[in-house]
Chain A
Amino acid sequence: MDEATCHIEPPAYFTRLATRLEPTADIVKKTLKSRDRVVHLLYLKSVVDMMQLQEIVVKPFYEMSAEQNFAEYIQSLPYETKMPTGDEEVLIEITKGNVFVMIDKQITLLELKIVAANAVQEAIMEPTIHGPQLGLSESIETNINVIRQRYHKPSLIIEPMQLEDASNRDIALIYDEERVKPQLLKIIRKRILTLEVELVQGSSDLQYYMNNKKYSLFPTSLLTERPDRILHNMAVGKVIILVDGSPHAIIAPTTFFDFMLSMEDAYYSFWVVSLIRFLRYAGLFTCIMLPSIYVGVTSYTPEVLRTELALTVAASRIGVPYPSFIEVFFMLIFIELLTEASMRLPNSISATATTVGGLILGTAAVEAALTSNIMVIVVSLVAISTFVIPISEMNYAVRVCRFLLLLYTTAFGLAGMVLGMLGLLLYLVNKDSFSEPYLRMFWKNRQEELKADDS
């Protein structure tokens, strides 16, 4: 660095950084000068809080007397971020909203970023009557704040990481050091660091990439927006992964039962919760098996039902010109379309779409003898019970399962349905989430049984 010119001209290092950022329009290179004191500032005005910059850096600069004081003042600020090594890393920090401050040879990064979307949002995906009503925000700092606010323990560790993708997004692993398994942490860190993806948009696709298998059906980690779910899982030794800019946290590892748990279960009395859980599992089985049962019972073994019911079913199918499995496929695809359509549309239109689709088309389809009355009941029941599953990823997985089971039943009848269910069970049991078994029973103490596995 040139000693003689450094007071007037920006130093070479500063210029080098500035030129690398140059073409962008929101770059600000500022040299503050008061008598013989010079401070160089470099920042992006779109991500820096101007008011704060004014209050914290510019104003004191002109109010203070000696230069030495100002350098010390800057260093003493609580906004300082750790100085990374290497130009590239410094530039990344600047793009994140840090202000690069250079006083003589002292360089400092001040975190004065402004995040537009740091408001905590209402929990939309997993609403509950009791419990926290607000979910996470789209800013990682706010989210960490939300978690810290509810979990006061020195053992809560926040481990920052940076993705090696196009967007250099900040992510953070959050866990309770005393409860988490070191082995698990190692696996998760390795998974994240060895990701080879172009761009991670947020927690949803990070979750998908971390799954490590392209063609897997069931989610192995859980996305949530509820702080109480995050704490509930962290307290049993799971790891939370936050991605900046995403209002969802990833929970890993997860078991099948985690997906069947609504946070509301913790807020009601035992018998109420038992009933709700029973309903939920009944809903799960209904939405997977009911279409297959219909095919198996109508096309393969009508004698399973009592005679009156078998006759009712048969009578209802009078006039339907094709075998039951086509009817079921037709209606299931119809209901899936309806669900998809109502999800993608704005709220005001989706109500109309559902009414038109559900009521009018349903009735018309029956009257046109394209499907039986009972089939309409079956399909509505299936659609309703699908929504009983609290987590939407599981919801989608189950919807796919339903079709697979239907195919198996169509080929092999009722016995095929039972075997198909067993196959599904085998698949789930054989799956693992970050080397924890995905589906298994725990009788006594969860931790004790896991320990027994390891020893």
Chain B
Amino acid sequence: MSRFVYFLLISNMIANLIAASPRIFFAKSEEGAIITMIIALFFGVFMNWALITSFKAFPGKSLPQILSLYLSKWITIPVLIILGVIWYVSGLQTLITYIDILLRFLTPEMSVYLVIAMFIPVITFGIIMQSRNILFTLELVFVLAVPAAAYYVVKLYFAEQVSWDHVAIAMTFIDNPPDYTVFSTTTYLFAGTFDIIIFNSLLKKKMTFGIKQALIVFILGAFALFTTYFIPIGVLGFDQVESTLYPWILTSDSIRMKFGVIERVIFIFLLLFLAIAFLNITIHWHVACKLFQSAFDIEQLKIKWREKISLVIMVVVFWSIAIYTTLKVTEYDLFLFSRYYFNFIPIVMTALISLMLVVNRRAKS
């Protein structure tokens, strides 16, 4: 697999820490969260394998290109639109969550309009960039963020506040029956790879997904899940963790750097995650943008500046919906909608892969 695929995967995993997923896990912590996570972990790796393998036959081609080659327009267009909406909502969810977090924890006096305005120019620029450059940016941000992130993770695991007894208590609930919402939320952690439906057009080398790659994805997923689930339990306590709104923010805020210029780890966390969340939004919206562009087949239109006009329309629509929902949606709604959205994800993944199976079969014959 190209290293960019790992970056996409990891960025999605990390971005999920701040989103609604930890809360969903903790809400079900006494109802089989752990066993579901283990099952979903395998399912996620399997999905990654299936996706990469199904794209193996089409190096350097994105999903819209592949679909238009082998399927009729009547199937392609709705599929692309549905996928576009899903990717858009994925970015939107991260955006709303992060705006909410910024307003609550970093700059409480700032108006919500100002916070939205802060994101608009940068994200817009990110969306209309070339796909290749988005991957390069992703890589650069990773390289810049790794030292801080590594420090943060080490700090978390070795913090005195982490009570491993509480982790042990949580582990005793391993024998409860699995839960679908937890399953779908965990699956969503692995959705990062699915961005290759667009970015595959840049990955010209043939990708392989063997034991080694599967192991890497598995370890990444297991580590992300373990950290997401057990560290807040260890810090906040098994009984209390359910009642917190943003468990990860509180977890970060309970750890301090005794000798640092910055004392509270939360600020490193917030700013680091701002970068990751921003990338996540940009990537997802870029993918959505490309999907819509190919769904409406703008290449065929005979208008001057068709590329630019379509981008302008897209950006305006994206932001209008984003601003409207950010202003309207309450925290409760956000949690609820996120759950609905997550529940939808495994179905979409499976459907997409079945579609790719059909395409693969047609390509062979």
Contacts and interface: CB of A to CB of B under 8 A. Distances in A.
Interface in A407-455: 411-416, 418-420, 422-423, 425-427, 429-430, 437, 439-441, 443, 452-453, 455
B271 interface: yes
A439 B136 contact: yes
B262 A305 contact: yes
A35 interface: no
A44 to B, nearest CB: 52
Contacts of A452: 204-205
A437 B136 contact: yes
Interface in B244-293: 260-264, 267, 270-271, 274-275, 278-279
B137 A304 contact: no
B126 interface: yes
Nearest to B107: A413
A419 B272 CA distance: 11
B303 interface: no
Contacts of A304: 262, 264, 267
Q: What is the interface residue range for chain B against chain A? A: 35 or more
Most A Cβ at <10 Å: residue of B121, B122, B141: B122
Contacts of B261: 305-306, 309
B207 interface: no
B225 to A, nearest CB: 27
B3 A443 contact: yes
A209 interface: no
Nearest to B119: A419
B75 interface: no
Most A Cβ at <10 Å: residue of B114, B118, B125, B278: B118
Contact of B118 (A412, A437, A439): A412
Interface residues of A, number: 32
A307 interface: yes
B205 A418 contact: no
A403 B54 CA distance: 49
A300 interface: yes
Given A439-B136, A441-B139, A441-B143, A418 B274 contact: yes
Interface in B297-336: none
Nearest to A419: B122
A413 B137 contact: no
B110 interface: yes
A429 B140 contact: yes
A303 interface: yes
Contacts of A416: 118
Contacts of B102: 415
Interface string A104-128: 0000000000000000000000000
B129 interface: yes
Given A305-B262, A418-B274, A441-B143, A425 B106 contact: no
Interface in B185-223: 204-205
Interface in B110-157: 110, 114-115, 117-119, 121-122, 125-126, 129-130, 132-133, 136-137, 139-141, 143
B136 A429 contact: yes
A427 B279 CA distance: 14
A440 B140 contact: yes
16 contacts: A301-B106, A305-B263, A306-B261, A307-B263, A411-B114, A412-B117, A412-B118, A415-B106, A418-B275, A419-B278, A425-B140, A426-B125, A427-B125, A429-B140, A437-B132, A441-B136
Query: Which 4 pairs from chain A and chain B are nearest by CB?
Result: A306-B263, A412-B118, A423-B122, A440-B136
Interface of A: 300-301, 303-307, 309, 411-416, 418-420, 422-423, 425-427, 429-430, 437, 439-441, 443, 452-453, 455
Interface of B: 3, 102, 106-107, 110, 114-115, 117-119, 121-122, 125-126, 129-130, 132-133, 136-137, 139-141, 143, 204-205, 260-264, 267, 270-271, 274-275, 278-279
